[in-house]
Amino acid sequence: MSIKFSEEDEMIRESVREFAQSKIAPIALKMEETKEIPRDIVKGMAELGLMTCTADEKYGGPGLSAVSAGVIAEELAKADCTGSTCVYYLVPASWGFLLNKYGTEEAKQEIFPKTVSGEWFLGIATTESDAGSDVGATKTTIKPDGDGFVVNGEKMYISGVREAVTHGGGHITIAHQTPERGTRGMTTFYLPLTAEGITPTYINDLGREGISCGGFSINNVRIPKHYILGEENKGFYILHEGYEYARALISVICASAGLKSLENGMNYIKERKSFGKPLAEYQEINFRLAEHYTKLNMLRDLGYKALKTIDLEQEGKVSRFETSNIVAQAKMFCSDWACKAINDVMQWQGAFGYSRECLDQAAWRAVRSFSLAEGTKEVMKMIVARELLGKKQY
Amino acid sequence: MRLNLESHLNFDETMKFIVCVKQVPDTTEVKIDPETNTLIREGVPSILNPFDQFALEEAIKIRQEGDEIIVISMGPPQAKKALLKCLALGADKAILLSDRAFAGADTWATSYTLTQCIKKIGDFNIIFCGLQAIDGDTAQVGPEIAAQLGIPQVTHCESVEKLEDKKLTAKVQTDDGYKIVETRLPVLITGITPSFFEPTNPPMMSIMKANKKPFSTWGAEELGGSKDNYGLNGSLTEVIKVYSPPAREQGVVIKEETAETAVQKLIDLLSKDKVI
C-alpha cells in the first residue's frame, strides 16, 4: 500500500466514520429537500473538531495536517451522497488553512473561535460573472481608506452565502488594489458577509443542495486592516495555496464518492438478475467495474500524495511549484473519473438509477461540480503543462 | 468528603479509577481456526470492545478534577490502538500488558495478569470493567479480578448514582427491573450498557493529544508474580471447541386489532405446530 496513515489518522477515520455513518448518511437525501444541513449536524461536526480543522490549537482548532484533513473528507464523502457536508467541511478547512498561515493574529483570534464552534461559516469567494479560474480578470477593487479599506464589486457562484449571512462569518476573497500592476497588484482578505453594503443573491445549483450557492454585491464595504491576509498586493500568490489545499481535498472526495458508488453498484449487480444470470456476470458490466475501481484507487492515491506534498511544503521540503504540479495532476480527472463511474452505477440500476430515491444520482450531481469548483480541469492541464514545458513558453 | 455526584460540588479527596479494556475483532461473524480453536484475528479490523467503552465513559462521567483514570489492557502490540482511543476519550494514562508469556490465556490467567498490573499500580478506588467482550462473551474477567484482589464487586451496573464517604451507590439491572446497591470502596464494577447509551466519538483535538499522554508497555518481568500463572500455563480451562451458533429464525409477530383476535391467532398457530 502506498499511503501510510499515522495512528492519529486511523483514529480520526474511525471517529469520523462512526459520526458520519450514524448521523449524516440517514438524512443525506433529506438535506436536498430542505436545502440545508441541519444545525445539529453542523454542531456535531464542530464538536468533533471538523470545522476549520486546520486552525491551530491556540485558536481552538486541532491544527490537523493536510493528510488528516483528507481522511475526514474521505469519510464524509462516503456517508453523504449529496456532497453537501463535504463542501461545508472542505471550504472552511482549506481557507482556514490560508487564514491560519497568512492571517493576522487579531483576525485569527476573532474569526477562528466562531468557525471552529460551527457558529460561523468561513468560505471562499473569488469567482465573478466574468472571472472564474482566470482570477486576474477580477473586477472587484479594494482601496486603502483611513485606518482600513473600502471594497467594491461583486462575487458569483459562491458556496455558503446564505449560511454566512444567516449565522455569521464571511469569505476569503481577492480584489485589485493596484490595478495597473495586474495580478501583482491584488490583495487577499477576509470579507464578513454580515457587513453593511453586502447584498446577497441566490442560485439553484444542480447538486450539493444542502449548502447554498449564491453571490453578493459589495458596495462601499469597509473592512479593518487586520482582515488582510499576507502582504497587500501579493494576494494573488498566497490565494493559490488555499486553492491547492481545496483541490487536493476535492480529489480525495471524488475518489471516495466514486468508490462508495461502486460499492452500491456491486451490491446491486450481484443480486439483480437479467436473462437468467446476475448482472455481475456480464463482461460489459464487470470490466467497467474493474476499470472504474482501478482508476478511482489511482485517484485516491494521487489525492493523498497531493495532500502529503502540501504537508511537506509546510516543512520546507517541497517547493511551491512542485505542490502546484502534483495537486493539479490529482484534481485534473477527479470529477470526470468519478462521474463516469457513478454514471455507470446509475445505468446498472436501470430506471431506479434515474430516480430521486437513488443515492448515486445525488452523488453524480455533487461530483459533477468538482470539474469546475476551485479551478477547472482545463486550468489543471495548463498548470501541469506549464511546469513540464517551462514558464518561458507562455 | 466526596459529595453526591448530582450536586456537582467539590470534594477534598482525589480518586484513582482503573478501567480494564480489550481490543476485539470488529465483526459479529467471528472466524475460528479449526485447528487451534482460537479466533482468527488476521485481516479483521479491531476495535475497542463497545462494553468497555461504556465502562470508560461511566468512569469519565463521575470523574472530578484531580481524579485519575488509568486504562489497562492485555493484548498484542496492536492493542495499543484501543488504548489510544481510550486516551482520546479522556483517560489519563494507559498501560498495555503485552508479552509472549501471556499468550493463550483463558479468563483466569487473563484476570491474574490484570490483577498483577493493578497491584503494581497500587492504590485505587474503583475498577471499571465492561460487561463482557464481544468476541468471547464470557463476562468472567471482571468478577475474577475482584475475587483475586479480594474486593467487593457490583455486576450489571447501569450507572453510578452516588459516590461519597468512600461508599458507592449503583443502579444495577436485574431480571425484572433495577435495584440500588451500596458498597464500600475499593470496588470493582462491571457495567451493563443501557440501550440509550451513545458511544462518544473522540474529537480531533483529543485524538491529537492522545499520543502525548503517558503510555507504558509492561511484560511478565515488570509484573512479577509466578510465570506459571500467565498465559496458557496459568489457564485453568481448555477450549475444546468454538463455533458460531446457527442464526435464530425470524419470529412471527401477531398484529391484530383486538387482544381477543390476537390470542385466537396465537392459539391457532400453536395448535397448527402441535405445541398445544
With contacts defined as CB-CB under 8 Å, which chain A residues touch B203? 15, 47-49, 62
Q: What percent of chain A has pLDDT over 90?
A: 94
Point out which residues pair with A151 in neighbouring strands.
A142, A221
Mean pLDDT, chain A, whole residue set: 95
Q: Tell me what pLDDT residue B242 has.
A: 73
User: What is the pLDDT confidence band of residue A390, given thresholds at 50, 70 and 90?
Assistant: confident
A173-200, pLDDT tens digit by residue? 999 999 999 999 999 999 999 999 999 9
Q: What percent of chain B has pLDDT over 90?
A: 63
Q: Which residue of chain B comes nearest to A69, CA vs CA? A: B204
Establish if B85 touches chain A: CB-CB under 8 angstroms: yes
Mean pLDDT of B91-113: 95
User: What is the pLDDT confidence band of residue A334, given thresholds at 50, 70 and 90?
Assistant: very high
Task: Mean pLDDT check: name the lowest of A135-144, A222-231, B133-142.
Answer: B133-142
User: What is the pLDDT confidence band of residue A314, given thresholds at 50, 70 and 90?
Assistant: very high
Q: Which residue of chain A comes nearest to B88, CA vs CA? A: A11
Mean pLDDT of A218-239: 97
Q: What percent of chain B has pLDDT over 70?
A: 92
User: What is the pLDDT confidence band of residue B176, given thresholds at 50, 70 and 90?
Assistant: confident
Amino acid at A293: Y
CB contact under 8 A, A11 and B199: no
Q: How many CB pairs under 8 A join A and B?
A: 52
* d(C-alpha A142, C-alpha B233), whole Å: 78
Q: Tell me what pLDDT residue A391 has.
A: 66
B140 secondary structure, DSSP code: -
CA–CA min distance B38, chain A (Å): 26
User: What is the pLDDT confidence band of residue B29, given thresholds at 50, 70 and 90?
Assistant: low
CB contact under 8 A, A7 and B80: yes
User: What is the pLDDT confidence band of residue A392, given thresholds at 50, 70 and 90?
Assistant: low
Give the residue from A48, A64, A68, A116 with the most B CB atoms within 10 Å of its CB, the best one to mutate: A48
For the domain A7-121, what is the CATH superfamily, name and number? Acyl-CoA dehydrogenase/oxidase, N-terminal domain (1.10.540.10)
* d(C-alpha A155, C-alpha A138), whole Å: 9
* d(C-alpha A305, C-alpha B82), whole Å: 28
Q: Tell me what pLDDT residue B11 has.
A: 47
Question: Does A365 score more than 60 pLDDT?
Answer: yes
Mean pLDDT, chain B, whole residue set: 88
CB contact under 8 A, A11 and B210: yes
pTM above 0.90, yes or no: no
C-alpha cell at A54: 486546520
Q: In which region does residue A267 sit, left (phi positive, over 0), alpha (psi from -120 to 50) or beta (all else)?
A: alpha
What residue segments make up the domains of chain B, in order of their start? Answer: 5-229, 246-276
B253 secondary structure, DSSP code: P
Question: Does A90 score more than 60 pLDDT?
Answer: yes
B122-162, pLDDT tens digit by residue? 999 999 999 988 887 788 899 999 999 999 999 999 999 98
Q: How large is the ipTM?
A: 0.88
* d(C-alpha B71, C-alpha B216), whole Å: 11
* d(C-alpha B2, C-alpha B8), whole Å: 10
CA–CA min distance A319, chain B (Å): 27
Task: Mean pLDDT check: name the lowest of A57-71, A315-329, B114-128, B248-262.
Answer: B248-262
Which residues, in sequence order, are CB contacts of B266 under 8 Å at separation 6+?
A: B254
Q: Tell me what pLDDT residue B8 has.
A: 34
Cα–Cα separations (whole angstroms), residue A275 to A270, A278, A330, B156, B230: 14, 8, 40, 55, 61
Question: Does A20 score more than 70 pLDDT?
Answer: yes
With contacts defined as CB-CB under 8 Å, which chain A residues touch B85? 11, 14
Nearest CB to A7 within list B84, B199, B203: B84
CB contact under 8 A, B204 and A14: no
Residue A296 dihedral angles phi and psi, to the nearest 5°: -70, -30
What residue segments make up the domains of chain A, in order of their start? Answer: 7-121, 122-229, 236-393
Give the residue from A5, A7, A9, A11 with the most B CB atoms within 10 Å of its CB, the best one to mutate: A11
Task: Mean pLDDT check: name the lowest of A22-31, A48-57, A84-93, B231-240.
Answer: B231-240
CB contact under 8 A, B207 and A16: no
User: What is the pLDDT confidence band of residue A381, given thresholds at 50, 70 and 90?
Assistant: very high
Q: Tell me what pLDDT residue A204 has.
A: 92
CA–CA min distance A114, chain B (Å): 16
Question: Does B196 score more than 90 pLDDT?
Answer: no
User: What is the pLDDT confidence band of residue B6, given thresholds at 50, 70 and 90?
Assistant: very low
DSSP state string for A134-191: -GGG---EEEEETTEEEEEEEEEEEETHHHHHHH-EEEEEEEESSGGGGGGGEEEEEE
Q: Tell me what pLDDT residue B3 has.
A: 41
Q: Tell me what pLDDT residue B193 has.
A: 84
CATH 3.40.50.300 fits A122-229, yes or no: no
With contacts defined as CB-CB under 8 Å, which chain A residues touch B208? 8, 57, 62-64
CATH 1.20.140.10 fits A236-393, yes or no: yes
Establish if B199 touches chain A: CB-CB under 8 angstroms: yes
User: What is the pLDDT confidence band of residue A62, given thresholds at 50, 70 and 90?
Assistant: very high
Q: Which residue of chain A comes nearest to B210, CA vs CA? A: A8
Tell the CATH topology of B5-229: Rossmann fold (3.40.50)
Nearest CB to B204 within list A7, A18, A48: A48
Contact between A3 and A74 under an 8 Å Cβ cutoff? The reply is: no
A96-109, pLDDT tens digit by residue? 999 999 999 999 99
B35-64, pLDDT tens digit by residue? 776 777 677 788 999 999 999 999 999 998
Mean pLDDT of B95-104: 94
CB contact under 8 A, A8 and B207: yes
Which residues, in sequence order, are CB contacts of A262 under 8 Å at separation 6+?
A: A289, A292, A293, A296, A341, A345
Closest CA to B240 of B28, B100, B27, B32: B32
CB contact under 8 A, A14 and B85: yes
Question: A224 exposed, middle or buried (CB, 10 Å; 0-12, 13-18, 19+)?
Answer: middle
Q: Tell me what pLDDT residue B4 has.
A: 45
Question: Does A349 score more than 70 pLDDT?
Answer: yes
Mean pLDDT of A296-305: 97
B193 secondary structure, DSSP code: -
Nearest CB to A12 within list B47, B199, B204: B204
